[in-house]
Each structure stands twice: as C-alpha cells, then as structure tokens.
Amino acid sequence: MKKIILALTGASGMPYGLELIRQIKKQDFELHLILSDAARMVLDLEAPGHEQVLSLADHVFSQDQLGAPASSGSFFHQGMIVCPCSMASLAAIANGLGNNLVHRAADVCLKEKRPLILVPRETPLNRIHLENMLKAHDCGATILPPCPGFYHGPQSMDDLIKHITGRILDALGIENNLFKRWEGV
C-alpha cells in the first residue's frame, strides 16, 4: 500500500490539515500522521471535534516518538506534507534540526530525495521566514503557501480549503478533482 506522511504543526490553518486527512484516506493511502504538541493546542482552538477526523489516520505519532517509522530513510513512502507548517518547524527543517519527529521525518525526506511539501501559514513574512523558505526550497522542499485562487468561483470556505488541498495533492502527483481547473479564456 502507498504511504503518505502528514505532519500538523502549531500554525493556524488546521482545516487544511483535516481536509488533507479526509482526502488522503479517500485515495486509499496508508496515512502516518504526526502531531506536534502545539498542533494539538491549535486543533482544540480551530477544530473542536477533530478527533473523528484524526481517527481516520492509520498511524498517529506524537512529536516525541523518534523511533517511529518515518524517522528512518529505510521507511519507503510517497512523500510528506507539513500542513500547516509553523515558522518554527520551517526553521528547524531548513536548518537540519532533527530534534522531534516532524523535523526528523522532513530531514529524511530531503536526504532521501523524497517529496516534501511545506505549507507555511504566516503573514506577513519577515526576512528570516523568507530565507528559511528559500533554504528549504534549495534543499528540495516544495513551498506551497495556502493562497487560494478565485478563478474557480468559490462559493464557500470549504471551496477555498479544497482548492488548497487539491493543489497540495497535485504537488505529490495525486490525482484529484477538488477544484475546477483553469481551462483558459
């Protein structure tokens, strides 16, 4: 079975992460979910009742479980998404710090040349944020800020969330029809 790693960190934007869980499971992937301590706090604020969605994951790990499969390059998977990606996690990933499972699993993706999609949710951005994004990009990560398009005529918040979710899945080469694609004018 194909495997995806999804890490939720302590930035705002949990509806994106929860929709990713739903969509990855619809695609019949084995989902390895990593939750940072800060993500658990933000989930409680932004997504009360999130436990049902989290239960869709095949495996759930805390940031402290450094012995999890995702911490090793011998664990084969199709890619990792960090969504939402806090600026602290981005900085740790960009600078090769492996002090928790989120950072270590991302570092493994970079060293093994596996897809790593970082979805930073912060605004405005300072120079440090931008430099860390560039550093992570130069190491092989895809930086995909959750900036929805409007050409598909969104009618609801759900449409905007699905647009970004679809773009993230696109970046991993996972087919989806979560939003109307641009067909030209």
> Among residues 128, 75, 129, which one has the least CA distance to residue 101?
75
User: For residue range 125-176, what is the model confidence (pLDDT) as tens digits?
Assistant: 999 999 999 999 999 999 999 998 898 899 999 999 999 999 999 999 999 9
User: Per-residue pLDDT averaged across 32-57, rounded?
Assistant: 96
Give the residue among 68, 7, 57, 8 at the shortest CA–CA distance from 29. 57
- Number of residues written out for the chain: 185
Residue 1 has pLDDT above 90, yes or no: no
Residues contacting residue 130 through CB under 8 Å, at least 6 positions apart: none
Superfamily holding 3-171: Flavin prenyltransferase-like (3.40.50.1950)
Q: 84 preceded by cis ω (within 30°)?
A: yes
Is-cis flag, bond preceding 124, omega within 30?
yes
What is the phi/psi pair of residue 30, to 5°?
-80, 120
Pairing between β-strand 80-85 and β-strand 59-62 as defined by DSSP bridges: unpaired
- Let me know the angle formed at the C-alpha of 166 by 169 and 76, rounded to the nearest 5 degrees: 10
Please give the pLDDT value at position 65: 98
CA separation for the pair 106, 92 (Å, rounded): 10
Tokens of 152: 């598909």
- Is the confidence at residue 50, as pLDDT, over 90? yes
> What sign results for the dihedral spanned by CA atoms 169, 172, 177, 179?
positive
For the chain, the structural domain boundaries read 3-171
Binning pLDDT at 50, 70 and 90, where does residue 185 land?
A: confident
Q: How far apart are CA 139 and CA 134, in angstroms?
A: 9
Task: Say how far apart CA 167 and CA 179 lie, in whole Å.
Answer: 9
* pLDDT of amino acid 13: 97
What is the pLDDT confidence band of residue 184, given thresholds at 50, 70 and 90? confident
Q: pTM score > 0.95 for this model?
A: yes
